[in-house]
Amino acid sequence: MMGKTHMAVGAAAYAVVVPPPDKPSITELVAWLTGLAVCIIAAIAADVDDPKTYAGKLIMPFIPRWLRPTAFAVVGILAIWHGYNQSNQILMLIGFGFFGAAISRHRNSPTHSPAGLLCACVVVYIYSPMLLIPILTGYSSHLIIDAITEGIPWAWPLPGWFKIPLFKTGGFFDVIVFRYGAVLVFLNQIIGNDISAFF
């Protein structure tokens, strides 16, 4: 599916899994919106395996599309090098992720597998346990809707491809049904709840 569809579906999934708080205080509202933002980023994070996608653009906005794979490789090597020197495993893991993204074929990499989901959850959980639900929700939504379009390497690092080809990326169902359907689900979760007073 396309980046914008992933973002819309991620937002809708979050609003369903973590319904907007009723009559929220400012602190509760900020916490909910932070979770929403993390979930939307998680919903496109898997596509960093293709530096040319929306996710690649978000990470390196000023680097032209054709140069991003090289930039990813350089950032990856630097992160591995610094992570190794400082015995920082998380930095090394991120470095391997960037390097892997630069050299692997789109949707054939760990980011589109349950192994990638697990890694993302572990890294985020170490950083802040509160962000586990948003990252799990957003990342899973990406894998599920990619599985019903292009397929995912579900058993990575073992060979194996899981695909139920129900819809086409960029097609009617992607752009109209999933994207706008997700926006409607999201709005439905907001409207009728006192959180709507804030918008």
Residues at the contact surface with Zn ion, assessed by CB under 5 A: 46-47, 146
Token pair 């129900």: residue: 166
Residue type at 108? Answer: N
CB of 164 to Zn ion, least distance (A): 15
Nearer to Zn ion, 12 or 143 (CB): 143
Query: Reduced to 3 states, what is the DSSP secondary structure of residue 152?
Result: strand
Nearer to Zn ion, 46 or 79 (CB): 46
Query: Reduced to 3 states, what is the DSSP secondary structure of residue 162?
Result: strand
CB of 10 to Zn ion, least distance (A): 12
Nearer to Zn ion, 47 or 174 (CB): 47
User: CA 109, 49, 68, 1 torsion: positive or negative?
Assistant: positive
> Do 39 and 11 touch, CB atoms closer than 8 A?
yes
Contacts of 33 (CB under 8 A, 6+ apart): none
CB of 142 to Zn ion, least distance (A): 6
Nearer to Zn ion, 7 or 92 (CB): 7
CB of 123 to Zn ion, least distance (A): 19
Nearer to Zn ion, 136 or 195 (CB): 136
Cα-trace Rg, the chain: 18
Query: Reduced to 3 states, what is the DSSP secondary structure of residue 59?
Result: helix
CB of 50 to Zn ion, least distance (A): 8
